[in-house]
Amino acid sequence: MPGKTEKLLSILKLQPVVPVLIVEDVRSAVPLARALVAGGLRAIEITMRTPAALEAIRAVADEVEGAYAGAGTILNPAHFEAAEKAGSTFIVSPGVTRPLIEAARQSEVPLLPGAATASEVMTLRDEGYEVLKFFPAEQAGGAAYLKSLASPLAGTLFCPTGGISLKIAPDYLSAPNVVCVGGSWVAPKEMVASGDWAGITRLAAEAFALRK
C-alpha cells in the first residue's frame, strides 16, 4: 500500500483542484483534457456516469500529453477492471465495499476511496488507506467538519469533492488534512458543448492559482 499511496499523492499534489468530468460525447474528451492541462490541471477524473466514459478515459490516456487520466464513480470490481484496462492512472469511488477493496488490492492502480464519517475513515485506515475522498463534501458537513477530523484522525489526507466551487475551495485547501479538492466548475457543461476550450483553460488556470 505505501507504494500506491505515494503514487496517488504524486498525482493529487500536481494541482489544487482535480476536475471531475461527465463526458457525454467522446469527441470532446481530448480537446477538453488538453484545455485543462494547458491551464495547469493535469490530473483529470472522468466519471463512469455515461456510455462514453471508458472510451474518453482511453482517448485522454493515449492522446493528451501531460495528462493523468483517472476514473471516477467506480462502484464495483467490474468498473475497476474496465477503468484500469482503459488506461486510468488513478481510480476514485464515492464509497467503498469489500469487493472493491479486494479488486484494488490486486491492482497496481491506486484507489481513492470515498468516506463521509469518522467510522468510514477508521475502517479504511485499517485497510491501509491514508488518502481518501471526502464525499459529498458540502452535504456531509463542509470544510469545518473536515477540519474537525484533522486531530483525532491525524495522518489521513483528503480530497473533498461534492458541491465545491471556486469561492469556497480555499476554505477546504486551508485545512491541514486536505491535499486537493475535486470540482466540476472548471468544465461547465455549456462551455464543453460549445467547444469553448480557451474559456475552460482560463477557468483551469484560475483554479490552479489556488495552490496551497
* Residue 45 annotated to the active site: yes
Count of Cβ atoms closer than 10 Å to residue 206 Cβ: 15
Report the distance separating Cα 94 and Cα 200, nearest Å: 25
**Given 45, 108, 147, 189, the catalytic residue:** 45
Is there a cis peptide before residue 152, judged by omega within 30 degrees of 0? no
**Given 84, 130, 133, 190, the catalytic residue:** 133
Q: How far is CA 73 from the centre of its chain?
A: 10
Angle at 88 between CA 83 and CA 94, to 5 degrees: 65
Q: Which residue has the cell 491514508?
A: 130
* Residue 120 annotated to the active site: no
Report the distance separating Cα 148 and Cα 177, nearest Å: 10
Q: Which residue has the cell 482503459?
A: 86
- Residues carrying an active site annotation: 45, 133
